[in-house]
Amino acid sequence: MKQLIKNITLSLAGISLLAACNKKLDITPEGAPTSGNFWQTETDAISGANAMYNLFDDENFYGRGYWWFINASDDMVTGRVKAEGDNIKNFNSNFIGGSYTEGQWKMRYIVIKRANDVIMHVPSIPMDAKLKNRLLGEAYFLSGLMYYELAYTYGDARAGVPIVKRDSLTGDKPIPRSANVNLVYDYVEQELKQAAALLPYFDTYSADIYGRPHKTAAFAFLSKMFLYKKDYANAERYADSVILSGKHKLLDKFADVFTIANNWSSEYIWSVYSNSQGPSGWGSILPGVMLENKGWGKYNGWGYYMPTKELYDSYEEGDIRREATILKPGDHVTFYGEDITYSSTNSLSGYQFRKYMEPFSYPAGQHLSPNGDHPTTDLNLPLLRYAEVLLIKAEAEIMQGKNADKEINMIRHRAGLKDVTGATLAELKKQRRAELAGEWANHHFDLVRWGDAQAAYAKPLHGVNGNEIWPARTFNPAIHNVWPVPRSEVTSSGGVVKQNGGWE
């Protein structure tokens, strides 16, 4: 995903017009442009479309805030004591109403509102037809993506999330949650299919519009959505739409995926990206959040989300991904142009993720935000990459009783591992964990949808020396398979938006 697009100026007027949020369901921002005072020219269309991306650079959108949910998995622990984050990891409802995750719902509905504005108003604007289709495709894509993220985060068979119809955007009455999550997934399908029909392939883009949605990104998220919906035939079908497009392939070396030079490689599908090089820096804050607290005196790392011994030990012997993913004491790494030996004065586990260290390797911090309180980098943080598409297809095949050896062995081969025959679901789970550790692919929700979370979280977590660093946790699938709706949304709706059962 991305925020600001290089050489396409994000209209400050458009941002101010679209910024404020409705008191109820955050559907109709106050002062939103109307057909009478905006949406008249091609410039308006571009400004309105650019506004859809404004929130992606917020540290809580694809950075620290949502990552407290991902941090609930057994792959990582809170590197430093942080009460709100610790409560989230422990499934303790005391975190509800806190600052980190409270805005997740609101921010995504703001993006949906802005996407809906584009979809409603841009068709009538006299402008270049090719550009019009692309902007509309972006809007359908972002609408579908936001609903998908809301759906699996907050929705289940008991209730989905509110679906804001584009023909009823003028009122401010709260909208109740849909009856179940599959209704939201059906809407996601509709939006992403329309996006795929309108969007071009990424390889037709010039560098000044890199980071915009493209056709195979829409196919890829359709595939992942169907995987979550347990519609395995369609998950396989849309994974094939990506694979058979011929537009993507695995890089030869796993570690090369996580380098600035390969931000836009053949493995790129969709990433957190920003080209804004102002005082707040670039893109996702996650690399800085995962960096050693205070960055060994050179940069303001925050020291959160540290790998566990359980993750380190889960790698098969000879798997080159382990050392490319995790730093352990005694490992060498380049930091600010110098070779250093990794050690930590604060990591609860003694480990750190290596995946996102490349931007910190250059002298003088040239690829880092100059704002140490917003420690972002210009490395694209992958939200969904081609390797995951292969694993989605493999899982869909296995769940249909088909052979998935081809896809599994493509992943194993790059990892330096021997081929397997008759790959099982257990092998698929192992490869997803090893390949996608520390990524937005979200191991926590993998465990949830596989039905493995309760057993996994009933075990304590350990550090590099084998000492217990996090006690066993109680995970009740009837409650904890979804996260609680933000308190502010329940309250401001007057109870129309109901809380998930068990989180009250």
CB 198 within 8 A of CB 136: yes
Does residue 388 share a domain with residue 261?
Answer: yes
What pLDDT was estimated at residue 281? Answer: 66
Query: What share of the chain has pLDDT > 90, as a percent?
Result: 83
Same domain, 405 and 432: yes
| 253 located within any domain | yes
Query: Is the per-residue pLDDT at 47 higher than 80?
Result: yes
* Whether residues 290 and 375 fall in one domain: yes
Q: With 70 as the cut, is the pLDDT of residue 276 above it?
A: no
Burial category of 449 from C-beta neighbours within 10 Å (exposed 0-12, middle 13-18, buried 19 and up): middle
Greater confidence (32 vs 80) lies with: 80
Average the pLDDT over 58-62 and give the result. Answer: 89
Q: What is the pLDDT of residue 169?
A: 56
CA distance 420 to 102: 44
Q: Which two tokens stand for residue 200?
A: 């071009």
What's the average model confidence in pLDDT over 479-503?
96
Q: What is the pLDDT at residue 431?
A: 98
- Checking if the pLDDT of 13 tops 80, the result is no
Rounded mean pLDDT, 94-99: 95
The answer on 292 and 326 residing in a single domain is yes
Mean pLDDT value of segment 260-279: 84
Residue 123 lies in a domain: no
Q: Are residues 403 and 364 in the same domain?
A: no
Instruction: Summarize the confidence of residues 11-17 as an average pLDDT.
Output: 32
Q: How confident is the model at residue 374 (pLDDT cuts 50, 70, 90)?
A: confident
Please say which residue of 336, 357, 379 terminates a domain: 379
Tokens of 313: 């030990």
Q: Give the span between the Cα atoms of 350 and 439, in whole angstroms.
A: 19
pLDDT surpassing 90 at residue 41: yes
Is residue 249 situated within a structural domain? yes
218 and 290 share one domain = no
Note whether 373 and 386 are same-domain residues: no
Tell me whether residue 484 is in a domain: no
377 beta partners: 368
At 167, the pLDDT band (50, 70, 90 cuts) reads: confident
Give the per-residue pLDDT at 298: 94
Last residue of a domain, one of 441, 467, 494: 441
What's the Cα-to-Cα distance from 382 to each of 108, 327, 396, rounded to whole Å?
19, 19, 22
Average pLDDT over residues 196-224: 97
Identify whether 355 is part of a domain. Answer: yes
Tally of structural domains, the chain:
2
The pLDDT of residue 14 is above 90? no
223 and 294 share one domain: no
- 84 within some domain: no
Q: What is the pLDDT of residues 417-464, one digit of tens each?
A: 999 999 999 999 999 999 999 999 999 999 999 999 999 999 999 999
The reply to whether 347 falls in a domain is: yes
- Crossing angle of helices 386-399 and 215-229, in 10° steps, is 40
Q: Is the confidence at residue 8, as pLDDT, over 50? A: no
Segment 351-371, tens digit of pLDDT: 999 999 999 999 999 899 888
CATH of the domain at 407: 1.25.40.10
Same domain, 292 and 373: yes
- Mean pLDDT lowest among 166-175, 199-208, 280-289, 369-378: 166-175
* Whether residue 375 is found in the same domain as residue 385: no
pLDDT over 50 (residue 16): no
Nearest to 324 by CA among 406, 409, 439: 439
**Whole-Å CA distances, 378 to 243, 386, 469, 497:** 27, 20, 33, 38
Q: Are residues 295 and 370 in the same domain?
A: yes
pLDDT score recorded for residue 30: 35
pLDDT at 280 over 60: yes
Give the global pTM: 0.93
Is residue 365 a part of any domain in this protein? yes
pLDDT value of residue 279: 62
Instruction: Name the residue range of residue 296's domain.
Output: 286-379
Is it the case that residue 373 has pLDDT exceeding 90? no
Average pLDDT over residues 235-241: 98
In the three-class reduction of DSSP (H, G, I as helix; E, B as strand; rest coil), residue 440 is classed as coil
Residue 329: the pLDDT is 98
CA nearest to 489, candidates 143, 161, 182? 161
pLDDT classification of 20: cutoffs 50, 70, 90: very low
Of 306, 312, 311, which is closest to residue 353 (Cα–Cα)?
A: 306
Same domain, 226 and 352: no
Query: Where among 379, 396, 417 does a domain terminate?
Result: 379
User: Residue 26: what pLDDT?
Assistant: 34
Task: Judge residue 408's burial from the number of C-beta atoms within 10 Å of its C-beta, 0-12 exposed, 13-18 middle, 19 or more buried.
Answer: buried
Q: Quick check: 384 pLDDT over 80? A: yes
Nearest of 160, 53, 161, 150 to residue 104 by alpha carbon? 150
- Report pLDDT for 165: 86
pLDDT value, residue 25: 33
Per-position DSSP letters for 78-141, written without gaps between them: -SS--HHHHHHHTT-GGGTT-TTTTTHHHHHHHHHHHHHHHHHHGGGS-S-HHHHHHHHHHHHH
pLDDT tens across 302-360, in order? 999 999 999 999 999 999 999 999 999 999 999 999 999 999 988 999 999 999 999 99
